[in-house]
Amino acid sequence: MFENHSIVIDDEELKRYSRNWKRPAVSRDLERYDNLEEGETNRLEPIFQPRGAQIEALYALEDSRAEGAVKGLVQAATGVGKTYLAAFDSAGYERVLFVAHREEILKQAADSFRNVRQSDDYGFFTGKQKDYDKSVIFASVESLGREEYLTDQCFSRDYFDYIVIDEFHHAVTAQYQRIVRYFKPKFLLGLTATPERMDGKNIYEICDYNVPYEITLKDAINKGILVPFRYYGIYDDTDYSGVKYERGHYDEKGLNRIYIENGKRFDLIYRHYQKYHSKRALGFCCSKLHAEAMAKEFSGRGIPSAAVYSNADGEFSEDREKAIRRLKDGEIRVIFSVDMFNEGVDIPAVDMVMFLRPTESPVVFLQQLGRGLRKSRGKEYLNVLDFIGNYRKAGQAPFLLSGVSPEDGGRNGGEEGFEYPLDCIVDFDLRLVDLFKEMEQRNLTIRERIRGEYYRVKEWLDGRVPTRMELFTYMEDNIYELCMKNAKENPFRRYFSYLHDLNELDEEQTVFYDTLGREFLTLLETTDMQKVYKMPILYSFYHEGNVRMAVTEEEILESWKQFFSTGTNWKDLQVQSYEEYKKITDRQHLSNAKRNPIHFLKSSGKGFFVDREGYAIALREELADLITSPVLAEQMKDIIEYRTMEYYRRRYIGSQ
């Protein structure tokens, strides 16, 4: 049996086992008969040690750093304990920076870090308090992200050894970007519960698609870290066709118009709320007027409720902390909120969430769902009431709850092919199934969807023509997947020509389009990239915008080593470890460059890459008149950056 049936228990086998492990049913039954009395828990001393998924993540992060990584993203469902994970992982570093966008998150994080580090040597960098000389600093992005604080007078670039960016999907904003670009820590850790793009922006590119550890919502439920959900898709005949829709969002005033004073909809929501017997619920609304109206309606029907939103000044509005305390104590039974409970707030006892507005963002949907999935004594599952009408993106829930891509999951609304977490229920009103099919039949062609997305991104950029990298960064995931699966319609394979066909080129670009330079750009866009070896060669030609006609062996070697010494790019050289990579000699590096990318660029480069005496590789002479064109430089840069990032994306997906 040992010779024929045994397997080697290595890291890969342990990862495979972990991914497939599910919590035994008997453990769920035993929890119901836990004989520990409520009062006894008060006498227990908490022990702050990593557990479960945190242990796996800590090993993965350590391995990633051993491989040369200086930044990474941990993607873990709400409730896994990402803040404590960051505290454990950073414990060996002297100076740590923790960045978040809400002060409540900073205060909770400070408690976690103090418990782990057993030290009071920490401070805050916020609007009210500016600490400069503490070992651990918890900073609001709004304060630290200002240019006047990102200077040597405040903090040198290498002041912090370890930086944590919480809710990493926000890292695409300008203030976060200033922080990320300014500081040069030994390691930067991004934390997020929601891998999907926020507002269409790509977060993975910020960490070069280095994701050492991830645990999905589905896995967290299967492992017993979170409670199961019972999701009910409820048909809502409210008509959204007259509400203005732009930049991926419905107009708030238009939603108020169809929600406020809508007695039929109030009855629908109240009736289903009563049906599922909630003690503590959260309702997610589109505006403060909507939240006020819902709180007033429910309170008038004998369900004590409050509205929570920023700058609260309404009849039923309450301060968030006060409302949370009253909900926990049972003084109110529902909080209706507007963008105040998406992140950083823990109310484990919540047993119901209600989606009372269109689901527009996968990120927000999963954040709001996560508010109710934390475990709490006596809570076996979370009820989810989703009121669905004929709004755009209706029918996303099956994909979001199962983790299936919309492009791979068949028809919207169909439950066949979806595998939900253990003990979870997903139930749709039959009228919704018909609605989803009707909406799918109205779907645009692939070409129309891609073109529509192009114009949406252009509008997002205030009318500026997007570069390849910008289109890649802002494009919605499901549309990008369509591009990758349909080569004929993929604009990234011929983007310069795509812009020409849309009359989007400026005068200088139009002149360049009618030269040999266009064919050269097309070659760069389409040259085979199963491996990443060609990138450092192309970077050496680009040379920071001063495009070269030919490059020497020394210039190739410099670009090659710089590229493969960045992050974990060395892995693509087929070596077993980072230590082995560091032993590669300059002669071996140059030999690899000549044997692979240089050889193939010359043989399959459509005559654009040629031999020249005294150089490793050169461009054909006909390009000499174009070499100083700013159009060539800007397009080369854009192509190389995009293709590098697309390669990282494919490598990341292939590792899953």
368 and 464 share one domain:
no
At 405, the amino acid letter reads: S
User: For residue 412, what pLDDT is reported?
Assistant: 43
**Which stretch of 29-43, 131-145, 422-436, 459-473 has the lowest confidence by average pLDDT?**
29-43
Percent of residues, the chain, with pLDDT higher than 90: 52
When pLDDT is cut at 50, 70 and 90, the band that residue 35 belongs to is very low
When pLDDT is cut at 50, 70 and 90, the band that residue 121 belongs to is very high
**All residues at 6 or more sequence positions from 57 whose CB lies less than 8 Å from its CB, including other chains:** 74, 76, 85, 89, 212, 213, 215
- Read off the pLDDT of each residue in 59-86 and give the average, rounded to a whole number: 90
CATH (domain of 297) = 3.40.50.300
Q: How far apart are CA 416 and CA 50, in angstroms?
A: 38
517 and 606 share one domain:
yes
User: For residue 177, what pLDDT is reported?
Assistant: 85
Q: 331 and 304 in contact (C-beta within 8 Å)? A: yes
User: For residue 542, what pLDDT is reported?
Assistant: 94
427 and 527 share one domain:
no
- Read off the pLDDT of each residue in 360-366 and give the average, rounded to a whole number: 76
When pLDDT is cut at 50, 70 and 90, the band that residue 656 belongs to is low
User: For residue 198, what pLDDT is reported?
Assistant: 44
pLDDT at 231 over 80: yes
What letters, b where the CB count within 10 A reaches 16 and e where it falls short, cover 224-242? bbbbbbbbbbbbbebebee
Q: How far apart are CA 124 and CA 135, in angstroms?
A: 11
Q: Is 42 exposed, middle or buried (0-12, 13-18, 19+ CB in 10 A)?
A: exposed
Query: pLDDT per residue over 245-256, tens digit each?
Result: 876 678 899 999
317 and 455 share one domain:
no
Q: Is 92 exposed, middle or buried (0-12, 13-18, 19+ CB in 10 A)?
A: exposed
127 and 192 share one domain:
yes
Q: Is residue 14 part of a domain?
A: no
- Read off the pLDDT of each residue in 500-528 and give the average, rounded to a whole number: 94
420 and 543 share one domain:
no
When pLDDT is cut at 50, 70 and 90, the band that residue 59 belongs to is very high
531 and 426 share one domain:
no
User: For residue 34, what pLDDT is reported?
Assistant: 57
When pLDDT is cut at 50, 70 and 90, the band that residue 46 belongs to is low
When pLDDT is cut at 50, 70 and 90, the band that residue 393 belongs to is confident
527 and 577 share one domain:
yes
Q: What is the mean pLDDT of the chain?
A: 87
Q: How far apart are CA 445 and CA 229, in angstroms?
A: 35
Smallest CA-to-CA distance from 111 within 102, 371, 616, 120 is with 120
Q: Is residue 27 part of a domain?
A: no
- Read off the pLDDT of each residue in 404-421 and give the average, rounded to a whole number: 59
Q: What is the pTM of this model?
A: 0.77
Q: 215 and 77 in contact (C-beta within 8 Å)? A: yes
User: For residue 12, what pLDDT is reported?
Assistant: 83
Q: Is residue 272 part of a domain?
A: yes
239 and 205 share one domain:
no
Q: Is residue 9 part of a domain?
A: no
pLDDT at 507 over 90: yes
Q: 201 and 172 in contact (C-beta within 8 Å)? A: yes
User: For residue 448, what pLDDT is reported?
Assistant: 86
User: For residue 345, what pLDDT is reported?
Assistant: 64
421 and 343 share one domain:
yes
pLDDT at 4 over 80: yes
Strands (E), 267-381: 281-284, 305-308, 334-337, 352-355
Q: Is residue 642 part of a domain?
A: yes
User: For residue 32, what pLDDT is reported?
Assistant: 63
**Tokens 């009707």 map to which residue?**
438
78 and 152 share one domain:
yes
Q: Is residue 128 part of a domain?
A: yes
**Which stretch of 231-240, 434-443, 548-557 has the lowest confidence by average pLDDT?**
434-443
Q: How many domains does the chain have?
A: 4
Query: pLDDT per residue over 429-458, tens digit each?
Result: 988 888 887 776 666 688 888 998 899 889
- Read off the pLDDT of each residue in 173-197 and give the average, rounded to a whole number: 84
User: For residue 414, what pLDDT is reported?
Assistant: 46
User: For residue 200, what pLDDT is reported?
Assistant: 46
Domain boundary among 185, 215, 245: 215
Q: 60 and 89 in contact (C-beta within 8 Å)? A: no
- Read off the pLDDT of each residue in 604-617 and give the average, rounded to a whole number: 91
User: For residue 45, what pLDDT is reported?
Assistant: 63
What's phi and psi for 209, nearest 5 deg?
Answer: 60, 30
**Which stretch of 336-340, 462-466, 580-584 has the lowest confidence by average pLDDT?**
336-340
- Read off the pLDDT of each residue in 67-85 and give the average, rounded to a whole number: 88
When pLDDT is cut at 50, 70 and 90, the band that residue 162 belongs to is very high
Q: Which tops the pLDDT comparison, 413 or 258?
A: 258
User: For residue 247, what pLDDT is reported?
Assistant: 66
pLDDT at 27 over 50: yes
Q: Is residue 7 part of a domain?
A: no
Q: Is residue 220 part of a domain?
A: no
Q: 166 and 98 in contact (C-beta within 8 Å)? A: yes
User: For residue 106, what pLDDT is reported?
Assistant: 92
| Structural domain containing residue 182 | 53-215
406 and 536 share one domain:
no
Domain boundary among 490, 517, 552: 490
Domain boundary among 150, 183, 215: 215
